[in-house]
Amino acid sequence: MLSGTGGEETGGVALSEGEGHKSQVERDRLQDPAENPEGAKQVKLLAGRICAVVGILFAVGGLIGPILAGGSSVSAGVMGMILGILAYFLGARRIGTITVILSVAALFFGLAASQDLIPGIEGSDRGLPAIEPNAGEN
For the segment 83-102, what is each residue's pLDDT rounded down to a tens digit?
999 999 999 999 999 999 99
Q: What angle (nearest 5°) sits at the alpha carbon of residue 76, between those of residues 98 and 86?
A: 50
Please give the pLDDT value at position 73: 75
Please give the pLDDT value at position 11: 53
Residues of the chain with pLDDT > 70: what percent?
A: 64
Helix, strand, coil % over all residues of the chain, rounded to 5: 55, 5, 40
Q: What CA–CA distance (Å, rounded) separates 50 from 57?
A: 11
Amino acid (one-letter) located at 93:
R
Question: 36-53 pLDDT, tens per residue?
Answer: 777 788 889 999 999 999
Q: Distances in Å between the alpha carbon of 90 and those of 21, 44, 45, 126?
A: 34, 5, 6, 40
Of 52-56, 57-61, 124-128, 132-136, the poorest mean pLDDT is in 124-128
